[in-house]
Amino acid sequence: MIKDYFSAIIISLVLTSMNAQFVDNMESYTDGEPISEGHWTDWGCFGGPGCAIMSSSVHAQDGNLSGYIPGDNSTDAVLNLGGQLFGEWGLSFWMYVPSGKEAYWNLQGQVPIGNGEWIVGNIQFNKELENPNTGIIDNSFEGPINFGFPHDQWFRVVMNYDLDNGVFDAVWQLNIAGADVIPMGTPFNDPDNTPFFSLGGVNFFSSSNNIQFWLDNFVFENNFLTIESDTENPVANCHDVTMQLDSEGSLILTGYDIDDGSTDDFGVVSFIADPSTFDCDEIGEYTVTLTVSDATGNSDSCTASVTVVDNLNPVVLGRNVTGNLDGSSSITIPVSEVDLGSYDNCALETLILTPDTFTETGTYTALLEGSDPTGNTDSMSVIITIIDGLGFSDHSISNFSMYPNPVTDIVTVEAGDGLLLHQLKIYDLTGKRIIDNVLEQSAPLIQIDIANLNTGTYFVEISDEFGNSAVKRLIKE
């Protein structure tokens, strides 16, 4: 009876292994429909669109159809590998990940999946769109491991599992795009040797809205799969480009900018441009070398002509101002009085106000115009108001004095001749009243803190208790 019992176990394992093996070229399904049959299932979301892998004719490694994982943040497809406990197993399939998209899958210890047993963590391709052509296994036995993969081209994934000594002493191999990411003999586990039940399945999950990838030509066998060695160099193809400096006056050139369809049998995973950084001092034409590499390090190079240009106009910012002839025959308005922080991504070469000199009172329209070294320009109109004394003059109530002048913070005003000050007003050059201080009780002396005023010229108007007033100019430093 004991002999028959163990014979039954062996026969059961053999039959399970035979039934678990499959080849799936994805051609037997209906385009646009979910796949939930045979070795295809899901992680408890009950099939259908938004849960199961979808049949798609958009891309196919060969034939007409493939499996599709969309960026719906819900698809949770599972490839059932039959819960293998012993033996030598090989799994291969092909992936297609477009530029600007990411892909994700993980290896689970049981199917159906309950709470989940992530055997080696997460396998992510272009995670969060931050590293094109770069993937990561985040919790392998050796810790996080980066690898290369191509975008916009089918590439093969091969995994060989050695379970001859059971799952607790299992070792494995992972090859992506012809390069060993995990060499054979590496423990099939995480760094903590967390126990798992079996070789359960592969979970293809739409972990974000940026997910989009296709899968094709699955092979799962009860033996190790052969991995074709990659000894051929890629073929680099370049094209000439004209590139614009950005708003900060810099340019970071990527290999993708000058790539013209470089190819490799296993896929190009690296595009490096040299030189790759330019600034305002490097406007002109340069020869740039593009080096493309595959996952095994084979490489090829080509050169492109890169023309760096600055076509961004300056930004001219101005304000309306008032100028005071103050009895003079003419006044020239400095550009600095009108400019409100005009700028250029490189540097302003000129900033000119036209006209800037005035001989009569009145309101004038002037043009503030800026240009950069490459001839880009911008301009705006400003209003210049010319007055003569702004209605004020430096006449004074007898012995009216103000000090210090120029001043940085506290200014003192004295009426003199026994008069009492009743009110003090301060105006800027546009005639705008900045301070209006009415004393609760008239006094011969007033002290005002103007530390918060901007540097510039102001007019101080004082009034005595009889309503007489006078004005003096005040310089704030």
Q: Are 177 and 163 in contact (CB under 8 A)?
A: no
Query: Residue 9 pLDDT more than 50?
Result: no
Q: What are the helix and strand counts (H, E) for the chain?
A: 3, 35
pLDDT above 90 as % of the chain: 76
* pLDDT tens string 111-156: 999 999 999 999 999 999 999 999 999 999 999 999 999 999 999 9
The whole-number pLDDT of residue 233 equals 96
Distance, first Cα to last Cα, the chain: 107
Residue 390 or residue 248, greater confidence: 248
Cis peptide preceding 355, ω within 30 of 0: yes
CA–CA gap between residue 112 and residue 214 (Å, rounded): 23
Q: Summarize pLDDT for 40-58 with one digit per residue, the tens.
A: 999 999 999 999 999 999 9
User: Would you state the pLDDT for residue 395?
Assistant: 38
* DSSP 3-state of 405: coil
Reported confidence tier of residue 14, pLDDT bands at 50, 70, 90 = very low
Q: Which domains, and CATH codes, for the chain? A: 2-221 (2.60.120.560), 241-309 (2.60.40), 321-387 (2.60.40), 401-476 (2.60.40.1220)
pLDDT of residue 470 exceeding 80, the answer is: no
How would you classify residue 141: left for phi > 0, otherwise alpha for psi between -120 and 50, otherwise beta? alpha
Return the bridge partners of 305, or none.
287
